């Protein structure tokens, strides 16, 4: 059975150039922190990789820190703000985030809240977008931190991060963009006239797992999570993951060169799938933005009313070799599965939440694969509705 993959938001395969870059580094075993000539190629590699990433975030290569990935980067940004506040004084400070943030933002903020931090959580519209006016109206004189996901990982809704950054000029509030679904996939800009951090993860744009990073503006002081080795100018100790960095550099260069081409192609595949489902008479509801300006074209969060998403995803996998997601890949690790906090925040009906699949495309997705997916969705939705005793609509 041919395996078809439609979960590019969870992770992406290594690009050919990323593989070649990693293979070319396998014999480069030196430690970048060493001073002899054997290590100089690795020092150069790290510098060039940061320049490639800087093109994707629109900032300076000198203010990029490599980490193990998105979760560490998000935690590093939060830690840099709150660990520098006076000990025992968290109750004097206030933070704001959206209700649709990733757990690597929400859970640390909830922990700081338990220590006394005042926290305001902003709900999205029913289409999953945060209103910048609502967010800015929540700012108080005590506000020191705001987190806003650039593109939501479950719905693909593009948030007004650029508008928010513009409105925070001169306020001295640290703004953090979780851009893990954006960097390498969507045009990004940094804003160096405000305290700003931007997190990214390589395996979301065809680089290996275990490598990511954090961009920080010149107004930000990074307070390390890890101490001891002095790497990354003392901001992230630990011997650099040179194999991962090599793959990241190659994937970042490709992403920058092909960005708009990839975006347009994914838009075609998303539109094609919906057109096919319409032609097949499949009953579905799209969760997210109807305005294409606010919707990432590689993401489709789609509900099939009357059907359990777990059953549909399992049948797609076992009967057709098709991989789709029930939502965030990280949330699948939970021992007690819960309804999507993103769709709940959007006030989606429980029937829509319980029947929702996340289908995500890549530039390597082929149109005939989308046709196979559409046919499989028609077959399996009708099959499951028949089992439930419901007529096709």
Catalytic residue set: 330
Cα 219 to Cα 170: distance, rounded to the nearest angstrom: 11
Q: In what order do the strands lie in the sheet with 285-287?
A: 285-287, 299-303, 356-360
Q: Specify whether the CB–CB gap between 354 and 109 falls below 8 A.
A: no
Q: CB–CB of 215/63 below 8 Å?
A: yes
Listing DSSP states for 193-259 in one string gives: TS-EEEEEEGGGTTSPTT-EEEEE-TT-----S--SS-TGGGTS-S---HHHHHHHHHHHHHHHHHH
Rounded Cα distance, 286 and 274, in Å: 9
DSSP string, 109-172: HHHHHHTT-EEEEE---TTS---HHHHHHT--TTEEEEEEESB-TTT-BBP-HHHHHHHTTTS-
What is the number of residues in the chain?
A: 393
């Amino acid at each position: 059975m041919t395996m078809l993959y439609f979960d590019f938001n969870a992770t992406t395969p290594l690009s050919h150039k990323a593989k070649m870059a990693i293979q070319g580094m396998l014999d480069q075993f030196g430690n970048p922190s060493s001073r002899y000539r054997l290590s100089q190629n690795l020092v150069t590699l790290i510098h060039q990789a940061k320049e490639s990433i800087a093109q994707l975030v629109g900032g300076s290569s000198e203010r990029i820190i490599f980490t193990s990935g998105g979760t560490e980067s998000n935690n590093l940004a939060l830690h840099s703000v709150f660990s520098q506040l006076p000990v025992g004084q968290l109750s004097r400070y206030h933070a704001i985030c959206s209700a649709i943030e990733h757990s690597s933002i929400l859970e640390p903020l909830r922990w700081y809240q338990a220590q006394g931090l005042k926290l305001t959580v902003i709900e999205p519209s029913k289409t999953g977008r945060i209103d910048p006016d609502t967010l800015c109206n929540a700012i108080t004189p005590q506000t020191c931190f705001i987190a806003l996901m650039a593109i939501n990982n479950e719905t693909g809704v593009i948030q007004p991060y650029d508008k928010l950054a513009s409105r925070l000029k001169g306020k001295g509030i640290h703004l953090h963009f979780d851009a893990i679904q954006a960097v390498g996939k969507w045009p990004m800009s940094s804003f160096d006239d405000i305290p700003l951090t931007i997190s990214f993860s390589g395996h979301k744009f065809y680089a290996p797992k275990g490598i990511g990073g954090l961009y920080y503006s010149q107004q930000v002081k990074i307070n390390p999570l890890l101490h001891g080795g002095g790497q990354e100018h003392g901001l992230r100790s630990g011997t650099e993951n040179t194999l991962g960095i090599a793959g990241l550099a190659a994937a970042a260069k490709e992403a920058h060169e092909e960005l708009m081409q990839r975006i347009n192609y994914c838009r075609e595949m998303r539109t094609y799938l919906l057109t096919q489902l319409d032609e097949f008479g499949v009953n579905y509801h799209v969760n997210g933005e109807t305005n294409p300006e606010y919707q990432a074209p590689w993401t489709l969060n789609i509900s099939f009313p009357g059907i359990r998403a777990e059953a549909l995803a399992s049948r797609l996998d076992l009967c057709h070799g098709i991989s789709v997601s029930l939502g965030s890949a990280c949330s699948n690790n939970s021992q007690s599965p819960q309804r999507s906090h993103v769709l709940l925040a959007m006030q989606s009906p429980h029937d829509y939440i319980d029947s929702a699949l996340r289908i995500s495309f890549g530039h390597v997705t082929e149109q005939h694969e989308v046709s196979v997916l559409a046919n499989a969705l028609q077959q399996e939705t009708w099959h499951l509705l028949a089992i439930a005793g419901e007529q096709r609509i």
